[in-house]
Amino acid sequence: MTVEQLAQGIRAQDRGTLARALTLVESQLPGHRQQARQLLKLLGSPAQPGQRIGVTGPPGAGKSTLIESLGLLALEKGERVGVLAIDPSSQKTGGSILGDKTRMEQLSRQPQAYVRPSPAAGALGGVARRTREAILLLEAAGYTSIWVETVGVGQSEVAVASLVDTVLLVALPGAGDDLQGMKRGLMETADVVWVNKADSERMPAARLTANQMSLALRLLPSRTAHWTAPVLQGSALERQGLDELWAKLRSHFAHLLADGGLQQMRHQQSLYWLSRGLEDRLLRNFLAQPEQAQAWHAAQARVAQGLSTPDEALDELLGG
């Protein structure tokens, strides 16, 4: 299949071609990279930007269930829904976690929805690139509501905040100490917070958590200028409170569109990934030399044992 045929199939919203193209951007082979570049160039950007929503939160918060429920709701509102998962951790755990997590059976059966059945796992830099390119492919295929679920335990939340327009943090009802399980910076990257599993029994706990989080959020700098993250509660499983949540997600996007913040944010994200990408590639090229990789591991061991300061080790490695 030529790159032109791929582009044509994607624009025609052919699912099989889209799947092929997604596999292509996941490949590291130089030939594939070149084809992927050509394909993305051919496809360009959609005339109307769709909303890219990242979903973060601790394991077990119900992120997949929420995406499925919200995705079905988005379909009712006339959106076309694409779902990706991002997992910057080892290939091994990435696969097994996903088995449980992102099946979303109901949503994936819908003709206007596309759920990518494997996460972008691996090192952060590569994962971010593949996710970024997958977003562009989904948008070219006419998906207007793109969801990126964070699966990994690594830096996926920080990464996803640099890949999407709106960050939805999913939390669980529970008193203060339970939230300590959250990773650093999670609250500060949230645009909308959802306290999930707030069914009748857990409603009092959910309300308490929501109040505490509102308070904390007021004290923290917000991700989006002139936007204070609202905290909502409900149940994704019982589909309670989802209309209000959907409205908040849309009003965040409207806020970004209204003051020109969307294009600015996306450009800043691109510049961020450009810098990160250069650092990543220079490091990869350096470590591609076996003797340099060996010297690097020796330097790390010396520093870990307190035998060298970081700067001594670097001076020895690269010359002072």
Footprint of a copy of itself (CB under 8 A): 30, 33-34, 37, 40-41, 45, 129, 132-133, 136, 176-177, 179-180, 182-185, 187-188, 212-213, 215-216, 218-222, 263, 267, 270-271, 273-274, 277-279, 281-283, 285-286, 296, 299-300, 303-304, 306, 309-315, 317-318, 320
Q: Kindly give, in sequence order, each residue whose CB lies less than 8 Å from that of residue 203, ignoring residues fewer than 6 positions away.
A: 233
- By beta-carbon proximity to a copy of itself, the closer residue of 92 and 184 is 184
- By beta-carbon proximity to a copy of itself, the closer residue of 1 and 318 is 318
Cα-based distances in Å from 281 to 84, 152, 156, 160: 24, 22, 19, 20
- What DSSP element (H or E) covers 26? helix 15-26
- By beta-carbon proximity to a copy of itself, the closer residue of 99 and 306 is 306
Q: Shortest gap between Cβ of 56 and a copy of itself (angstroms)?
A: 14
Q: Shortest gap between Cβ of 26 and a copy of itself (angstroms)?
A: 13
- By beta-carbon proximity to a copy of itself, the closer residue of 1 and 272 is 272
How far is C-alpha 139 from the chain's CA centre?
A: 15
Q: Shortest gap between Cβ of 238 and a copy of itself (angstroms)?
A: 26
Query: Rounded CA gap, 45 and 64, in Å?
Result: 28
Residue 60 identity (one-letter amino acid):
G
- By beta-carbon proximity to a copy of itself, the closer residue of 15 and 297 is 297
Q: Shortest gap between Cβ of 244 and a copy of itself (angstroms)?
A: 23
Query: Rounded CA gap, 162 and 269, in Å?
Result: 5
- By beta-carbon proximity to a copy of itself, the closer residue of 15 and 218 is 218
User: Tokens at residue 181, please?
Assistant: 């399980």
Q: Kindly give, in sequence order, each residue whose CB lies less than 8 Å from that of residue 287, ignoring residues fewer than 6 positions away.
A: 293, 296
Q: Shortest gap between Cβ of 107 and a copy of itself (angstroms)?
A: 28
Region of 138 on the Ramachandran plot (φ > 0 left; ψ -120 to 50 alpha; else beta) = alpha
Q: Shortest gap between Cβ of 96 and a copy of itself (angstroms)?
A: 25
